[in-house]
Amino acid sequence: MKVAIVNGVNLNFLGIRETSIYGYETLEEINKNIVRHLEGTEINVDFYQSNIEGEIVNYIHGLHKKFDYLIINPGAYTHYSIAIRDAILAIGIKTIEVHLSNVDAREEFRKNSVISDIAVGKISGFGSYGYIMALEYIKQRGVI
């Protein structure tokens, strides 16, 4: 099974930016923990991060008929990127939305997601463990 994990804008600065909200773990450390968690499974994961909306769209297009699931943390693009939403819809991939912080307990604008209603589910507020939760769901469900 192939799973793509996409991280959007500013997530390359994890461990540096707003550590009181996002913690000190870097994106590289998160990715290494995910790889360790998947050892011995039949899940192959591909990681991608970009601060550029169009690059994320192009990457998602490239998943078409090649990947079984998309786990995405769009960062701030969550709230307004119709382009990313449309890319997910265009390729018809099963998608899980992940956020490190509890976006529903933060500023009002963060409560809006243009991704949630097209996703299998949304995981928010569990830090980097949210990615593991999404992968556990995928492991239990398999390719559906």
Query: Which residues are catalytic, by number?
Result: 22, 99
- Region of 23 (left: φ > 0; alpha: ψ -120 to 50; beta: rest) is left
Q: Is the dihedral of CA 50, 54, 60, 61 positive or negative?
A: negative
Burial class (CB in 10 A: 0-12, 13-18, 19+), 75: buried
SS3 state at 141: helix
